[in-house]
Every structure is written in structure tokens, then in C-alpha cells.
Amino acid sequence: MAVRALCFDVFGTLVDWRSGISRAFRVSELPGDPQDLAAEWRARLWPALAEINGGRRPWANLDEVHLATLGDLLSERGLDLASEAQRELVQVWHRLDPWPDVKDGLEELRRRHIVAALSNGHVALLVDLARHGDLRFDCLLSAELAGAYKPEAEVYRTGVRLLGLAPAQVMLVAAHPFDLEGARAVGLRTAFVARPLEHGPGSPARLDPGAEESVGDLQELAARLNDYAPEARTRMAEQPILIVQVASGGNVAVQLSAQPPPSIAGGDVVVEILAADSDGKLQPPPGGEVVLSVPSPEALRREAAEVRRVLERAGSGPDPLVVVVEAADELREDELSVVLGTARHSPRPVILRVIGNG
């Protein structure tokens, strides 16, 4: 069964809690090493959540738990901090920065999958983190919707149920083996993302041999999922809205096959071998409007967001839009899909003109 939705753990997996909380302790000027204070505060979270799951502590959202565990930490260390300053420290958890790969990685993964947060953070906290980091999710799934905290099975089951999917269609992406193990126990697929700096330089490496995928960042995860997803190739063949023109003699390999339809229209895939003119230039089709030209397939991947913006803003009309990719001895499927995925939502037919070196 194909993976349709990716659910992400947030703290440590998508956002760097240690740096943000350490910085906040440094600003507070409390005695002690700011990084040690941050680590100890974070460590106190898990026993508190276990007590809630076990019914030994009343339900509380993460702000309330963080405020309580901060009070315990300060009390045990004999530190004095005004109540308002404590509440401000709790609010720092709402403004944590994402890891460098996260924003673009989520965008890439959203092209083919539903992308959701599945976090112990309450909804208001997740909304603030998404807005602070400019992170795009299709939905925010919180443990408070299940009335339990991860790794309780009900959290994962609730996420799957609210998405309207089967467990095997959902993959949990996390940096924490205990979280992935909890997801696998109820039938979810899992992907481990290494975050070696979550607990600081030199901290012990984590592995999860049970994970279906183990990657170093979200871009690598996107590449892995695209590589092994046969359903993605099927969708490209069955639901295309693209016309591909290949320069004659350019030695360009495009992995598509289709009979040219009688006319250019949305919904068509055409691979045409065009003869160059006397100057060696590829002539545009009648009415074609070149809206974007990139110097290489690699640039096409890098400029994926720009391709989407240009095509979506072009407006409706009968004339096709043309995206030119130069210096392409080979065009891989992931490069082709940058335009293909966008073209499905374009108001006009799209031509991807590939010009080879040969």
C-alpha cells in the first residue's frame, strides 16, 4: 500500500529546541550553564507526560506542563525567577527555529504527499511554530486531540483516523526511536531522520534499525520516497498535463511514452523530436509563450518554487506556456516532475522544452 501521508514529529525533528531554549536561559541571566538548564528542562517533560498517560496526573497541555516542570527545576536548583519571566520562558517554545533543511524539505514532500504535524504540542503551540518558521502543513495533528501523549497508541490511531487513511498509508517521520516504535506498533510506516545536534555536538548517535527509511535530512527523504514510489510514475503516465519538446540530436532521455494527440491541450503528454532550423535553434510552437528559461536540469530542481509561481500566475488562455531547460544531456524523472506536478494545476497547457548539448 502506497504512502499517502507523512506525519512529522516536531520538537527535535523539525525544530531545534536546544538552541532556542538555551538562548532564552542566557538572556534570563539565571545562574548556571544555559545549555544544561535547557537539557534538564527538556528531560523533565517525559516523566510528566508518562504520569498524565498513566492517570497519575491530570491532563495538561504542553504550556502547562512546561510551566510546572520549569518551576520544579528552579526550585531544586534554588533559583528565583519572577512568575512573569517564567511564563515568558514557556512562550519561547512557541518561537523555536526549524532546522535548515525543514522549510524547503516540507515543500518538496508536499508535492506528492499529504504533510501533517503529529506532535505532543497542543494546537495553539503548533500554529505558532508553523507561523514562526513559515512551515506549510496540510494539517496539524496534536496529542490533545487524542487526550494522550506519544508514544501512547491512541495518538497515532487518532492521527490516522482524522486523515481518513489506513495505518499503512501513513508514515511517521521522527528523530526519536521511541516515537517511531510507538507508530510501528499500530501499523504505521516509519522514517528516521538523524538530528545529531539536537542534544549538542558530541552527543551519542541515534539509530532506528526498524525504520523503513533512515535519512540525514528531509531532502534525502523526498528523494528516497520519489525513487521507490511506483505509484508516482503511474500518476505521471495517467494524469499528465504536459507537452515535452526535445531538440533533435540533443541526446536527451525523457522517460515518457505517449502517442502524440492531434492537438495541444491540457491533459496531453507529447514527446516530439523537433528539427532545428538552419541556425541550429529550436523554433517555438505557434502561440507558445516562453515564461521561464533555466540553464540546466539542476537549476530546474533548485528553482522548483519559482516554476510553480510563474505557471500559476500566467492566467488562463489557449496558448501554451513554455519552460526551457538548456544543456540537458539527460533529464531525470525527478527533474521532469518539477514541471509535471505544477502543470497539473496550471490554467494553460505547458510545454517543457529540453535542449541538449549535442
272 and 324 fall within a common domain: yes
| Number of domains forming the structure of the chain | 3
Q: Residue 10 maps to which CATH number?
A: 3.40.50.1000
Domain shared by 133 and 185, yes or no: yes
Domain boundary among 166, 198, 228: 228
* 73 vs 202, residue with greater confidence: 73
- pLDDT for the residue 164: 95
Percentage of residues of the chain with pLDDT beyond 70: 72
More confident residue, 294 or 285: 294
Lowest mean pLDDT among 2-6, 25-29, 205-209, 272-276: 272-276
Say if residue 146 is in the same domain as residue 37: no
> Which CATH number does the domain housing residue 36 bear?
1.10.150.240
Same domain, residue pair 31 and 85: yes
Shared-domain flag, residues 113 and 76:
no
What confidence score (pLDDT) does residue 355 get? 66
What's the pLDDT band for 235 if we cut at 50, 70, 90? very low
Query: Are 288 and 268 within one domain?
Result: yes
Q: Both 32 and 143 in a single domain?
A: no
pLDDT value at 118 more than 60: yes
Q: Please say which residue of 176, 204, 228 terminates a domain.
A: 228
Q: What is the pLDDT of residue 257?
A: 37
pLDDT number for residue 324: 76
In tens, the pLDDT along 58-111 reads 999 999 999 999 999 999 999 999 999 999 999 999 999 999 999 999 999 999
Least confidently predicted of 36-40, 154-158, 246-250, 267-271: 267-271
Mean pLDDT of 251-262: 38
Tell me the average pLDDT of the chain.
Answer: 81
Q: Report the predicted TM-score, pTM, of the whole model to 2 decimal places.
A: 0.65
Enclosing domain of residue 44: 17-92
Residue 15 has pLDDT above 90, yes or no: yes
The yes-or-no verdict on residue 186 having pLDDT over 90 is yes
Residues 148, 10: one domain? yes
pLDDT for 282: 47
Same domain, 10 and 157: yes
Q: Which of the residue ranges 176-185, 237-246, 248-257, 262-271 has the most confident prediction, judged by mean pLDDT?
A: 176-185
pLDDT for 177 equals 97
Same domain, yes or no, for 112 and 205?
yes
- Same domain, residue pair 322 and 176: no
Final residue in a domain of this structure, among 193, 208, 228 = 228
Q: What percent of the chain has pLDDT over 90?
A: 59
For residues 340 and 245, state if they share a domain: yes
pLDDT in tens, 294-347: 777 777 777 777 777 777 777 766 667 777 777 665 666 566 666 665 565 566
Cα(138)–Cα(110) distance, integer angstroms: 8
